[in-house]
A and B are shown apart, each in its own frame.
Chain A
Amino acid sequence: MRDRRISVALLLPSLVGIILFLIFPVVQLVLPVIFGVKSNETYFSFLKATYNQQIIFRTIGIAFVTTLGLLVLAFPFAFWIAHQRVKVRKLLSLVILFPMLTNAVVRNFAWILILGRNGLVNTLLMDLHIVNQPVRILYTNTAIVIGLIYLFFPVMVTMLIDSIVSLDQSIDEAAAMSGAGPLTRFFKITLPQLTTSLLTGSILVFAGAMTAYTTPQLLGGNSSLVLSTLLYQQSMTLGDWRAASIVALTLILIALASLSITKVITKRISGGNEV
């Protein structure tokens, strides 16, 4: 059984590291919320508070609008890139990755410059005499949505490009020869083949938007709190760890739920042949 011992030795360090330093702390965090004294009561009273409800609905709303916006904006863009020559496509993929790999502070600072009180948008609006006073865009839900769309645009586009490139062209040609017009072909042939990546991309982005921290912190601030910024505020500013743990559990549940949905979708569409 020497062989088996070697396998264990190779796997053990990573396994122990993750169980000890990730799974254990997270379990320690959520267990009191689930099984603690009067835990149900605290959880429900948390959910019942109008203030918290507002934040939960705001978080869901922002994630939903972000996902919808991304679908509309990224889909044609991915199509455009997918139809370029291979070299150009590679170069463009690099270019769109750049903002995502740039530090979140930099990315969001750029949007503060654009959306702020004396920012680019307000300067333009006032110079053109469209408004007399600066419009408040920064520290609103709109600013968060814009920042999140900017953050996840490369993710969505990258996910779509690959499946657009690998579309089976012969089906489209067959449909064309059978007399189907371009619109019919798009909705009846192309779109169904892209359903999986559109759905998985949407869920990925939705979950990401619900749990992202830096973007809502910098563009929403304290006047537009979402769950992740509420977690930080409750734990580090207000010192209410119980409330923070409840928010943490909620965020974990959101992440796990979206993962399970993605798994079910990929399984169903690929006919149970999921790798």
Chain B
Amino acid sequence: MRQKKHWLLTLYGYLMLLLLLLPLVLVVVTSFGSQAAITFPIKGFTLKWYANILSQPDFVTGFKTSFAVAVTASFLAIVIGTPAVYALTRRGIHHANWFQTVFLSPTLIPEIVIGFALFQSLVIGIKLPLMPVLITGHFLLSVPYVIRMLTARLLLFDQTIEEASWLSGASKIKTFFRVVIPNISGTLLAIFIMCFINSFNNIPITLFLNGPSLTMLPTAILNYLQNNYDPTVSAVSVILMLLTGLMMWLMERMNGLTHVNEHLNQKGQK
């Protein structure tokens, strides 16, 4: 739909866009300032803060651990969640709504509460080591993305293609791996990226489940920020923004961002 655009609305649109991006641009600018205290306007130009990232062992190990946890949790969520979505969309399950609600329940409970509950009952209660509990927490975060994004995709996927495969003599399992999976691989990759971003960036759950022996990047930055206020944080922020940009670019190539919008919309309705 198009109407005559009002100039005031256009002006407002550009102004908000500017306000939306200005804070992030500011972070980028400050990462190049040569003074240890961040002031405006910045003085000089240096790349030493980027080099300083590497001399912070917590940032380096934190990045590695966060990366590994995010990959593991996203992978687990897809492997465990995909069969469930397939069953719900294809096999005429009774009380499918009830199952949906259970699978989406990680979005119903505030993250900070999930973190506290996991810490209390799994770490303190049955004395599980931190790492598996941390992965469990991030897995729980990822499941709803798999359920929502994949349900949307499978409902659009033409079931007659599967039937054709069955009629040609392929078993249901073979059909699933040779026909269904290749057709939804783009969506699966988009889901993986979305879960990865969410897990990699998570703070509320991670905060309860990291420790001296288990450093995660976001909480490491948080700790650093409590004692220092220098452009190292700006520099590491720029790296994280580049990572986010890369992920979004990949996802856009999978046409997956449309699914993200869908996810946001459903959040309010379910």
Contacts and interface: CB of A to CB of B under 8 A. Distances in A.
A15 interface: yes
A34 interface: no
A258 to B, nearest CB: 10
A175 interface: no
A28 to B, nearest CB: 5
A24 B121 contact: yes
A256 interface: yes
A150 interface: yes
Interface of A is mostly: helix
Contacts of A167: 1
B113 to A, nearest CB: 5
Given A17-B80, A102-B240, A114-B26, A25 B13 contact: no
B109 A22 contact: yes
A102 B80 CA distance: 27
Given A7-B87, A7-B93, A109-B27, A203 B268 contact: yes
B168 interface: no
B109 to A, nearest CB: 6
Nearest to A111: B23
B5 A211 contact: no
A191 interface: no
Given A95-B21, A104-B201, A255-B109, A123 B237 contact: no
Contacts of A97: 248, 257, 260
A213 B112 contact: yes
Residue with the highest number of chain A CB atoms closer than 10 Å, among B30, B118, B119, B237: B237
A183 B7 CA distance: 17
A231 B111 CA distance: 12
Contact of A11 (B37, B87, B225): B87
Interface string A1-40: 0010011011101110111011111101100000000000
Nearest to B114: A22
B264 A155 contact: yes
Interface of B: 1-3, 5, 9-10, 12-13, 16-17, 20-21, 23-24, 26-27, 30, 37-40, 80-81, 83-84, 86-88, 91, 93, 99, 102-103, 105-106, 108-114, 116-122, 125, 136, 139-140, 143, 197, 200-201, 203-204, 207-208, 218, 221-222, 225, 229, 233-234, 237, 240-241, 244-245, 247-248, 252, 257, 260-261, 264-265, 267-269
11 contacts: A7-B91, A14-B83, A82-B1, A99-B23, A104-B203, A105-B240, A106-B237, A113-B26, A123-B40, A124-B40, A232-B207
Given A102-B24, A123-B39, A204-B268, 8 more contacts: A26-B109, A28-B125, A95-B20, A109-B237, A116-B229, A213-B204, A218-B222, A228-B112
